Amino acid sequence: MVSGRKRKFDEQTALHAAMEVFWAKGFVGASLADLTKSMNINKPSMYSTFGNKEALFIKATQYYIENKMKVHLDALFTPDTPLKTRLKNYMMSIVGMQCSTEQPKGCYLVLCQSEIAGGDIPEEASKLLIDIDVLPKTLFVDLFTTDKEAISLGLHHHAQGNSLSLYTALKGCAAMARSKVSSTELAFVIDTILAGVFAGNNEQTKVGTITTNTIQ
């Protein structure tokens, strides 16, 4: 008796589908039934191709980074563009994705990172999410400490605080996007945060100059 042929499927298409399930439901909320149904494969095929749920989640998370997050970086390093404009374009590119109707609302990473405290995410997946959480702040810190305009504006003096402010805004926007707040409304939030960061550093620079002159 000839055995039946294994069903063929495109791994990238299946991985994209898994990403969307995790994006909508988080690691904890995504059941194997949810995943295999969305991926249009059976459990044996899932295990043989991607491994268990944790292994699939790790692959889906890496897929999200490569296909949904790295694309925004171009806006941050556009030549001959003011720093404030670059930061807004970068942040609004992310917010636009968070609010898009083409995929689950909000941010895949923010949703899944919020589940770590509950202790229900396995060790390797949890470590990946924690490591990824450091990257945006590091990106902003590097920008504020190496960009010539940032240094001239004094933003490098408070690089850590400025970075935390911007990343906090993006995480907050992700939560609001899941609550169906539009990108147009969230643009005001981004403008307000950026205005505060740039004005705050200008004030710090002025205070430092006045103090130095007074001492002299």
pLDDT along the chain (216 residues), means of 10: 56 96 96 97 95 98 96 95 98 96 87 94 97 96 97 96 97 95 96 93 48 44
CA gap 120, 103 in Å, rounded = 25
CA gap 138, 195 in Å, rounded = 21
Report yes or no: 57 and 111 within 8 Å, Cβ to Cβ: no
CA gap 83, 78 in Å, rounded = 9
Query: What are the structural domains, with CATH classification, of the chain?
Result: 70-215 (1.10.357)
Q: For residue 105, give the DSSP letter.
A: S
Report yes or no: 122 and 54 within 8 Å, Cβ to Cβ: yes
Residue with tokens 């190496």: 146
Nearest CA to 94 among 64, 131, 69?
69
Q: What confidence score (pLDDT) does residue 102 get? A: 77
Which helix (H) or strand (E) segment holds residue 15: the answer is helix 11-29
Q: What share of the chain is helix, strand, coil (3-state, %, to 5)?
A: 80, 0, 20
CA gap 206, 141 in Å, rounded = 22
Q: What confidence score (pLDDT) does residue 211 get? A: 41
CA gap 214, 212 in Å, rounded = 5
Other beta carbons within 10 angstroms of residue 81's beta carbon come to 13
Q: How many helices and strands (H and E) does the chain possess? A: 11, 0
Q: Give the length of the chain.
A: 216
Report yes or no: 25 and 33 within 8 Å, Cβ to Cβ: no
Q: What confidence score (pLDDT) does residue 162 get? A: 96
Structure tokens at 63: 């897929």
